[in-house]
């Protein structure tokens, strides 16, 4: 799939105010600073579509984008950012969970994880929660440019092993780098494929 049009639509804290669920939707989520906004910019080929930052916790809203007038892309706030108060953490948590459970046109959640780190408790807990709630998801490894080829293979295997502790079947996995533009075609092909199964209500 080529991206010919990508436009920002709306930022929300309330999923009820999201655009009408008339198109298939894909959400990007992961720990703060994992590289969600950078990946979205890389995939859409737009430098500043999603705001990136060296300061974690930059994305605080549900951000909707419309791609090719055909599908929605959503940049969600990162979870697990230590420097926010408990109250605002709980607020974000509820906002994200509400969105993930209630959004009818949501086709897939891309869970981003940093391949350089050991599988993190917070990521595994989130992944397990998605599985239990039967929210379809895939795992996207980010910042692969920071690892050597051998390390990538080792880390992906290590991650799979960890996932197999809870799940018999593994979700689709993608290896990406926003920096080196790796993984773009794989992600877009996957989205194109899943788009075919969208049935508007
Ligand atoms: P929040 O919105 O704060 O949750 O962060 P985010 O997940 O959107 O991360 P963001 O895209 O803002 O990137 C965080 C930092 O990681 C920035 O300094 C990016 O330049 C860096 N970064 C993102 N992707 C890559 C990548 O593929 N490779 C490398 N080397 N750095 C990256
Ligand atoms: Mg962001």
Would you state the pLDDT for residue 196?
A: 97
Residues with C-beta atoms within 5 A of ion ligand 2: 36-37, 58-59
Average pLDDT over every residue of 41-51: 88
- Atom from ligand 1 closest to the CA of residue 182: 27
Would you state the pLDDT for residue 110?
A: 98
Average pLDDT over every residue of 50-68: 74
What's the pLDDT band for 149 if we cut at 50, 70, 90?
Answer: very high
C-alpha pair distances (Å), 59 with each of 4, 76, 124: 25, 7, 21
- Cβ of 178 closer than 6 Å to ligand 1, yes or no, is yes
- Atom from ligand 1 closest to the CA of residue 112: 7
From 36, 37, 38, 79, give the residue whose CB has the most ligand 1 atoms within 8 Å, as the site to mutate.
38
Average pLDDT over every residue of 114-135: 93
The protein residue with its alpha carbon nearest to ligand 1, atom 12, reads 52
Lowest-confidence region among 13-17, 41-45, 70-74, 119-123: 13-17
Go through the domains of the chain in sequence order and give each one's CATH number.
6-195 (3.40.50.300)
What's the whole-number average pLDDT of the chain? 90
Would you state the pLDDT for residue 91?
A: 78
Q: Which ligand is nearest to the CA of 53?
A: 1
Could you report the per-residue pLDDT of 66-124, keeping only the tens digit for each? 999 999 999 988 777 666 677 777 777 888 899 999 999 999 999 999 999 989 999 99
The protein residue with its alpha carbon nearest to ligand 1, atom 21, reads 35
pLDDT above 70: residue 54: no
What's the pLDDT band for 56 if we cut at 50, 70, 90?
Answer: low
The protein residue with its alpha carbon nearest to ligand 1, atom 26, reads 143
Q: Which ligand is nearest to the CA of 178?
A: 1
Average pLDDT over every residue of 3-21: 90
Residue 7, token pair as written in the block:
């436009």
């Amino acid at each position: 799939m080529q991206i010919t049009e990508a436009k920002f639509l709306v930022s929300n804290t309330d999923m009820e105010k999201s655009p009408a669920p008339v198109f298939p939707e894909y959400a990007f989520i992961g720990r703060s600073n994992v590289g969600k906004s950078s990946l979205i910019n890389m995939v859409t080929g737009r430098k500043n579509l999603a705001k990136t930052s060296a300061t974690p916790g930059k994305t605080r809203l549900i951000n909707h984008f419309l791609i090719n007038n055909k599908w929605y892309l959503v940049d969600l706030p990162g979870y697990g950012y230590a420097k926010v108060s408990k109250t605002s953490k709980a607020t974000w948590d509820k906002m994200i969970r509400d969105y993930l459970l209630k959004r009818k046109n949501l086709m897939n959640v891309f869970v981003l994880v940093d391949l350089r780190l050991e599988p993190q408790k917070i990521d595994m807990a989130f992944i397990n929660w998605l599985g239990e709630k039967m929210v379809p998801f895939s795992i996207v490894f980010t910042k692969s440019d920071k690892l050597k080829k051998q390390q990538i293979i080792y880390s992906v295997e290590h991650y799979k092993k960890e996932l197999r502790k809870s799940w018999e079947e593994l979700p689709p996995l993608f290896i990406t780098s926003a920096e080196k533009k790796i993984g773009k075609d794989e992600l877009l092909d996957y989205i194109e494929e899943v788009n075919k199964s969208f049935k508007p209500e």
